[in-house]
């Protein structure tokens, strides 16, 4: 065995320090929550609805797809905790009262949304490893499918909450759905594109 081979083998068999790995995972989750907060700063209030047009949902989908179900859920749960304690991570406010406002249903659904997106995309990863196909259009398609399913969860939560506040299903759809369909399609495609590109980059580095 050559000296180089011995060094490579030593690197591959070197044990991972548990504390270091935990710190790494915590840092990833915290960074992901801050990424969603950064996306929330891109927000456009609309005069005909209390729900703003924001890049937040793109951040949630991307975090779920890239981090997976468990870490995605943890990152968005942390994000809600940050906002509940008053940190300015939401698009137009902070605090528990804001979570109980018109956008509260969307916000409170975020951990589940990230979990659903991550879980569905993880199924693609398992099937891809079995079938030998991990990159390209199939990655994009699975990411888009996972994002659409997660969006259904998001709008179910958001519209249900709005219906409770307004006592009207039609008003809930008017305030929380009709104006956002096209933008959500764009966010789904963006999240799927970022995820596909990320996996391609990782494949090239192997």
The domain ranges of the chain are 13-42+50-205
Is the pLDDT at 74 greater than 50, yes or no? yes
Q: Give the tens place of pLDDT for each residue, 94-144.
A: 999 999 999 999 999 999 999 999 999 998 766 554 444 446 688 999 999
| Alpha helices for 132-180 (secondary structure H) | 137-166, 169-176
CA distances from 135 to 18, 64, 68, 124 (A): 31, 18, 17, 11
Of all residues in the chain, the percent with pLDDT exceeding 90 is 76
| Res 199: pLDDT | 84
CATH tag, 13-42+50-205: 1.10.1760.20
Could you give the dihedral angle defined by the CA atoms of residues 75, 77, 83 and 88, in that order, rounded to the nearest 10 degrees? 10
Least confident of 64-78, 123-137, 183-197: 123-137
């Amino acid at each position: 065995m050559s000296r180089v081979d011995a060094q490579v083998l030593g690197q591959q068999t070197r044990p991972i320090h548990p504390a270091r790995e935990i710190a790494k995972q915590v840092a990833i989750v915290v960074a992901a929550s801050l990424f969603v907060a950064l996306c929330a700063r891109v927000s456009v209030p609309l005069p005909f609805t209390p729900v703003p047009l924001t890049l937040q949902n793109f951040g949630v989908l991307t975090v779920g797809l890239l981090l997976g179900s468990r870490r995605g859920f943890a990152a968005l749960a942390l994000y809600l905790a940050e906002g509940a304690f008053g940190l300015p991570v939401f698009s137009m406010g902070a605090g528990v009262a804001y979570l109980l406002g018109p956008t509260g249903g969307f916000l409170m659904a975020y951990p589940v949304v990230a979990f659903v997106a991550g879980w569905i995309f993880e199924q693609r990863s398992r099937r891809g490893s079995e079938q030998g196909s991990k990159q390209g259009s199939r990655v994009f398609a699975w990411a888009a499918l996972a994002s659409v399913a997660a969006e259904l969860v998001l709008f179910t939560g958001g519209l249900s909450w709005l219906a409770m506040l307004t006592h009207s299903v039609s008003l809930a759809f008017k305030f929380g759905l009709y104006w956002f369909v096209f933008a959500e399609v764009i966010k789904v495609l963006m999240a799927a594109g970022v995820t596909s590109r990320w996996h391609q980059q990782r494949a090239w580095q192997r």
